[in-house]
A and B are shown apart, each in its own frame.
Chain A
Amino acid sequence: MTTAGMIMMIVSTASITTLTAYCFWRVLTLPNPKDVEHAPLDIDTRDR
């Protein structure tokens, strides 16, 4: 394998792997919608 071949292989696979890992990290660390949505009584409107 030539140096250029090695570079093409590493750049291609590394860029795809990085993109995939980043996307799945973002997806898996998103807050669960159930934790974000609040029932009306949970929301403090400070309206006393």
Chain B
Amino acid sequence: MSEKKPSGEQWGSKLGVIMAVAGSAVGLGNFLRFPGKAADYGGGAFMIPYFCALLLLGIPIGWVEWTIGRRGGRFGFNSAPGIFSVLWRNPLSKFLGTIGILVPVVIYVYYVYIESWCLLYAGYYLVGEFDSLGKNPYAYSEFFKQTTGVNEDGAVFGQGISPIVWFFLATFAVNFIVIYRGLSGGIETFCKWAMPLLIVAALIVVGRVLTLPEQPIPESWQKSMPVVLSSNEWERTRAKLIDPSVNVNQARGLVRSEFERFFQHPDSIHQGIPFAPPAGFLKTDDGFATALAEIRDVGQGNRYREWLGKVEASLNFDEKRTLQRLERRQMRVDQAISRWRERHPDASNSHDTAIDPHLESQRVDIEAARKAIVTHHIAEPLPSLSREMRKLSIAEDRIEPAQLRAAAIEVAEIPRTVNNGLGFMWNPDFSELRNPEVWLEAAGQIFFTLSVGFGIVINYSSYLKRKDDLVLSGLSASSMNEFCEVCLGGMVAIPATFIFLGTAMTLDVVAQQSSFGLGFNTLPTVFASMAGGRWFAVAWFFLLFLAGITSSLAMLQPAIAFLEEGFKLKRHASVSVLGIGTLIASLLVVYYSKDLLVLDTMDYWVGTFMIYVLATIQVILFGWVLGIKDGFKEMESGAEMRVPRLFRFIIKYVTPAYLFIVFAAWIFQNAPARIADVVTNPVVRTTVLGMIGFWVLLLLLVVFADRNWSKEGRGAREIES
């Protein structure tokens, strides 16, 4: 005889559960992380490893989670410890299941804070609060730092409570209320409205970006500054810049303060003169030295400028694109050299150019390729700025490469049109496919975007009925997430950044690999340059907020289910307990905001490391413990579409192997530095200990919950029709 599920919770409709699962997957990463990764790792070529990972990792793991969740639900369990205990009848299994609670709760603790940034930006744009910041990229960067308290711990509570705290509390309250209202009445209803609204908001922004007019290309700052500044201001600045006692760092500060002055002038915003700050290599010591040498040696500087004009006119589109790619590769080599030097302090102290021979060889190859392109069509030699660059302490053998690199960035500039903006994002560089890092990054992106290994899907699917479809629902939720990521996310951030900020700035943004930098520093500058940008910014940050909240709503449900089924708590009681606990933890994240170190540590160890672990456990439990035959029988029960037989082989062998390789490579790349941080940095250590403490608490709770389950006989037999 059939019994009703003990929790009494269930989904209202098939579309509702798909929207809720898709909502949990669609997040800020779809709109900020994906475009940065794709543009950085081969453009359109990135989509090849991306789709491979989707087929071999994302969709199969998604189906696995849907299946084991529904199976656990049939035995009266909705939380990972219970679900794992019926999947693998071993005392260890329920303890492994605690990861399925740990991960979403910890992510929730910091994710709600990020959501509140989006809400604050949307609100501020709505009331015109950002109008005073104009197009000043530094101002947005400072605003972000002040708002989020990056500069020091407790900054948002000092000198009166900062507005972000109120936005955080509002965001927390919205989450709490929706979760409090229950699975169907709260989460499902909210997602059924929020997801279409999110797509409409995204389509509005995409429509704006794809219809942008061509933007003018500014000259380098050393040429445009005399035009945009008043003659007095420029003469004063120039006098300082040509002072031999002024070094590169002091010059950088001077230029920056002039930018501040220009952008903060109320009329400057409307002058229409394109003016861009130094970016990428052009803001490094070598890049700045080149610019300073041009200003200081006027005669040679003018010859150099004329030469640049001739080179620029001689290059075709493909050659300019190749120069852009070479610059990006060199940025990556520079980052690797910098990491190598951190690991080998003795080598860098002994000789400035002493680096890993492999990296040195890559750098030499890139510089040779660049020189060949830049000087290919033109017989006139490069007018050297060596006399001044030498005075600025640039090593003799680095002068020509530095000058050629600065030149290449300028001559590689292409018209700032929508077509070229999309090209920056989508033009493929198939040579990147030989780089293993590209395959790892693509797999990582699929993993995070589909929220596999978060413990959410197994919880959501546990509320399904025995004969409810899993295969079509799982595929629908995954495809909707992919639609938001590829078709919407791939059309906004990078193309818009390129159109308004150009090649050097976009390369810089991409190289930094910072979703926050792109979302909260770069894009506001872009919106400030766009006609009607304020309103499109409202739509953009509101959609990011919706993307965030539809994800966070899902994150407490696994823990709520655990408290309900393990300790007989009513929903309202379990939501309240979790609400108070997560509010305290979130406020600690808000308080300890310096460099966002606490947030970053939680994101690394739980939001990345542990989800790999959980996904691997799930795939092994499905393919090797439950068994492929029984697993697929379970998966296809009630299915509205058949899963191709090939996926039996994929899930049993390919997906676990793929996961192991990606995980091992990822640990090899990142873990040593992160472990060193845990040892040396007290903030990181305390954060990690806090998370371990929470995990230990969950392990203890599972012991007590298991006793209750044994008394009830829960999990011994199927209970639902």
Chain A residues in contact with chain B, CB under 8 A?
Answer: 1-2, 4-9, 11-13, 16-17, 19-20, 23-24, 26-28, 30
B47 touches A8 (CB 8 A): yes
A1 touches B480 (CB 8 A): no
Chain B: which residue is nearest A1 at the CB level?
B423
Q: How far is the CA of A27 from the CA of B16 in the complex (A)?
A: 11
B14 touches A30 (CB 8 A): yes
Cβ contacts B339-366/A at 8 Å (1 or 0 each): 0000000000000000000000000000
Cβ contacts B635-662/A at 8 Å (1 or 0 each): 0000011000000000000000000000
A13 touches B45 (CB 8 A): no
B472 touches A4 (CB 8 A): no
Question: In the complex, how many angstroms separate the beta carbon of B325 from the nearest chain A beta carbon?
Answer: 12
A23 touches B422 (CB 8 A): no
Q: With A1-B423, A5-B422, A9-B422 known to touch, is A24 a contact of B476 (CB < 8 Å)? A: yes
Q: How far is the CA of A9 from the CA of B425 in the complex (A)?
A: 9
Q: With A16-B482, A17-B483 known to touch, is A8 a contact of B476 (CB < 8 Å)? A: no
Cβ contacts B455-498/A at 8 Å (1 or 0 each): 00000000000000000110110011011001100100000000
Within 8 A of A (CB), among B619-647: 640-641
Pairs across A and B, CB under 8 Å, 16 listed: A1-B423, A1-B427, A4-B427, A5-B44, A8-B45, A12-B44, A13-B486, A13-B487, A16-B483, A20-B479, A20-B482, A23-B475, A23-B480, A26-B472, A27-B15, A27-B18
Chain A: which residue is nearest B44 at the CB level?
A8
A5 touches B479 (CB 8 A): no
Q: How far is the CA of A12 from the CA of B489 in the complex (A)?
A: 13
Q: Which residue of B321, B479, B490 is within 8 Å of A23 (Cβ)?
A: B479
A4 touches B44 (CB 8 A): yes
A13 touches B428 (CB 8 A): no
Q: Which residue of A5, A23, A27 is within 8 Å of B43 (Cβ)?
A: A5
**Which A residues touch B43, using CB under 8 A?**
5, 8
B592 an interface residue at 8 Å Cβ cutoff? no
Within 8 A of A (CB), among B36-50: 43-45, 47
B542 an interface residue at 8 Å Cβ cutoff? no
Question: In the complex, how many angstroms separate the beta carbon of B317 from the nearest chain A beta carbon?
Answer: 8
Q: Which residue of A1, A19, A26 is within 8 Å of B422 (Cβ)?
A: A1
Question: In the complex, how many angstroms separate the beta carbon of B141 from the nearest chain A beta carbon?
Answer: 30
**Which A residues touch B483, using CB under 8 A?**
16-17, 20
Chain B: which residue is nearest A25 at the CB level?
B476
Chain B: which residue is nearest A13 at the CB level?
B487
Chain B: which residue is nearest A19 at the CB level?
B479
Q: How far is the CA of A27 from the CA of B15 in the complex (A)?
A: 7
Which 4 residue pairs across A and B have the least CB separation, nearest first?
A8-B44, A1-B423, A5-B427, A23-B476
Q: How far is the CA of A23 from the CA of B18 in the complex (A)?
A: 11
Chain B residues in contact with chain A, CB under 8 A?
Answer: 14-15, 18, 43-45, 47, 51, 321, 419-420, 422-423, 425-428, 472-473, 475-476, 479-480, 482-483, 486-487, 490, 640-641
Q: How far is the CA of A20 from the CA of B25 in the complex (A)?
A: 15
**Which A residues touch B480, using CB under 8 A?**
20, 23-24
**Which B residues touch A16, using CB under 8 A?**
479, 482-483, 486-487
Question: In the complex, how many angstroms separate the beta carbon of B472 from the nearest chain A beta carbon?
Answer: 6
**Which B residues touch A20, using CB under 8 A?**
476, 479-480, 482-483
Q: How far is the CA of A20 from the CA of B486 in the complex (A)?
A: 12
Chain A: which residue is nearest B50 at the CB level?
A12
B14 touches A17 (CB 8 A): no
Chain A: which residue is nearest B495 at the CB level?
A1
Q: How far is the CA of A20 from the CA of B475 in the complex (A)?
A: 9
Q: How far is the CA of A27 from the CA of B476 in the complex (A)?
A: 8
**Which B residues touch A4, using CB under 8 A?**
44, 427-428
Q: How far is the CA of A6 from the CA of B420 in the complex (A)?
A: 11
Question: In the complex, how many angstroms separate the beta carbon of A45 from the nearest chain B beta carbon?
Answer: 21
Given contact pairs A1-B419, A8-B44, A27-B472, a sample of 12 additional A-B residue pairs in the complex whose CB atoms are under 8 Å apart: A1-B422, A4-B44, A12-B47, A12-B51, A12-B426, A13-B490, A16-B486, A20-B482, A24-B480, A27-B15, A27-B473, A28-B15
Chain A: which residue is nearest B473 at the CB level?
A27
Among A2, A7, A8, residue most surrounded by chain B Cβ atoms (within 10 Å): A8
**Which A residues touch B428, using CB under 8 A?**
4-5, 8
Q: How far is the CA of A28 from the CA of B640 in the complex (A)?
A: 12
Q: How far is the CA of A20 from the CA of B481 in the complex (A)?
A: 9
**Which A residues touch B479, using CB under 8 A?**
16, 19-20, 23
**Which A residues touch B487, using CB under 8 A?**
13, 16-17
**Which B residues touch A1, using CB under 8 A?**
419-420, 422-423, 426-427
